[in-house]
Structure 1
């Protein structure tokens, strides 16, 4: 697996695009859990307020405007303000002072019994999807699952505990996460022998693209001339041997 390019070696536009992407993702990680929590609180509050009072038309500043103009204003504000807020909050989240303020607000929010649980759950889910998984997912592998002859894409997450390894002292065991599709945040945990997994020359990001799209999106490999849908030689060898063994079994049955 090739290492990520050095930030200083990128061109100005590449650095700008990378910084924009990082700010956007960092902002989403902060805004979406917070916005969802606020939305749930607002729904409950609005339900209570609607039972007690109504909003007079004289108070609504958009009441006398043309409906088309009102819709255009709502669309423009609805797209511009959230995107700007996400980028600003993402920029704050990547700086020391902004991170301190966000951490303080996060601790305050998590202190609220119900809202804190919702916020923490959503944040963990989003971090699983959006964050760089290079530290958690060490390499992309193929695992023969759910039955012999079928292969699933998985991620090696580390070595197993001593208690599990003690049951198979003759083989090195690894922890493998086999995600589901199109929602890779769920899946199966498997303990597999190291010699039974096939390592793919593929980045974690490309593997997620394949999983989320159900195989529709096939990113290019490290080499521009090597498409992703061409299996490694080790995989081809295994499949050929499996097909050969199956053919011999059918011939013997026919005899």
Structure 2
């Protein structure tokens, strides 16, 4: 009982960290950028700063609003540039420069892939969430159906992507039979929650596996090949013949 209580506390703590760390990081970055903009505005000469003659508190609030608005407008401007040809060329040039830096390039590429996986429209890439037995029977892994595979084999074959955790941007591609998959009643977003948290956050996928599939997996064992299962005459001791026995010359 005490062990289960400790495990529940540990799971709750990890789940809280998974939720709090990304949120706290976002808030921290936003506040720091906004503070930098506010400090920049307060350093503007008095004759160019229109807020100097106002009440100090009102002026601080206006600077704070501007400090939050400037980063937001900058993000919107960069997004607008990324959606047209000229802006895309400039951003590609900047990406190539950053990726040429040994350490910064690897960090930038990893974060970029992770954000693209989370925020881009996944419906156009992943059609539905399934479970497949991987890497062996009895072990179930989350997979995303990416399309139908054209093969000469009878039956419908599907192309699936098996992501890793906690970084779902990497994984394996496989072609499996539709009879070997188990469809899940969860969305792609919920599946990503499970992957990013290592199963701590998200629905209970074990409840999605029918008992019949579990029983089949447990009863599928290799046939016994021990001597006791063979006929008695086939396991009788055979005469010992030395390995170095050579036929006599006639």
Residue 230 (structure 1) shift: 5.2
TM-score (norm 2): 0.51
Which residue does the alignment assign to 1:238? 213
TM-score (norm 1): 0.50
Map 1:154-169 → 2, pairs under 5 A: 154-160=143-149, 162=150, 165-166=151-152, 168=153
Find the aligned partners of 1:254 and 1:201 in 2 and give their Cα distance. Answer: 47
| Contact residue 114 and residue 167 of structure 2 kept, 8 A | no
Say whether residues 1:151 and 2:136 are aligned partners.
no
Residue 253 (structure 1) shift: 11
Map 1:48-63 → 2, pairs under 5 A: none
Find the aligned partners of 1:254 and 1:80 in 2 and give their Cα distance. Answer: 83
| Contact residue 176 and residue 192 of structure 1 kept, 8 A | yes
With 140-149 and 80-89 compared, the bigger mean Cα shift is at 80-89
| Contact residue 177 and residue 188 of structure 1 kept, 8 A | yes
Residue 108 (structure 1) shift: 2.1
Aligned length: 161
Give deviations 1:92-137, integer Å, cap 9, x for gaps. Answer: 577xxx4578653331232469328669956555312322312111
Find the aligned partners of 2:83 and 2:207 in 1 and give their Cα distance. Answer: 48
SS in 2 for 1:231: helix
Map 1:86-165 → 2, pairs under 5 A: 86-92=71-77, 98=80, 103-111=85-93, 114-115=96-97, 123=112, 125-160=114-149, 162=150, 165=151
Residue 172 (structure 1) shift: 1.1
Decide which of 152, 155, 166 is 1:171's aligned counterpart. 155
**1:184–1:84 CA distance, 2 compared to 1 (3 A):** farther
Q: Which runs of 5+ in 2 are unaligned?
A: 1-25, 27-42, 44-63, 230-250
Q: Which runs of 5+ in 1 are unaligned?
A: 1-23, 25-60, 62-78, 220-227
The higher-RCO structure (CA 8 Å, 6+ apart) is 1
Which residue does the alignment assign to 1:211? 195
**1:121–1:83 CA distance, 2 compared to 1 (3 A):** farther
Which residue does the alignment assign to 1:67? none
Find the aligned partners of 1:82 and 1:215 in 2 and give their Cα distance. Answer: 38
Instruction: Flag the structure with larger Rg.
Output: 2
SS in 1 for 2:126: coil
